[in-house]
Amino acid sequence: MSTPTARSRAAAARVPPEHAVLARRIRSGDQTALAELYDRYSARILGAIVGLAPDRESAEEAVHDAFLAAWCGINRFDAARGDLESWLMALALKNVPGGRPDR
């Protein structure tokens, strides 16, 4: 078993306590916890990736797919590596088809 590094301990310390609670609830199959997570972060994540997607519909689909991936793969969430919002953002970015910055 590996011991946490100073960086992973620092990252875990920055994770809001409610993220650990939400992750635990989602792991137990609590759909309302996923809904809370969606309500809290979906608009912000959409706003961040809409310019990277070919169109708004693709961005919305990427966000939807990110939350579905979170529901199915919550056991892969590691608070030592970051918070739920950052993890969801990474999942959404992976789902942006051919995304390119507008610049």
**pLDDT per position as a tens digit, 26-73:** 999 999 999 999 999 999 999 999 999 999 999 999 999 999 999 999
> CA 94 to CA 97: how far, in whole Å?
8
Tokens, residue 73: 């793969």
pTM of the model: 0.78
78 DSSP 8-state letter:
-
Domains defined along the chain, listed by start: 6-94 (1.10.1740)
R_g of the chain computed on alpha carbons = 14
Name the band, by pLDDT with cuts 50, 70 and 90, for residue 4: low
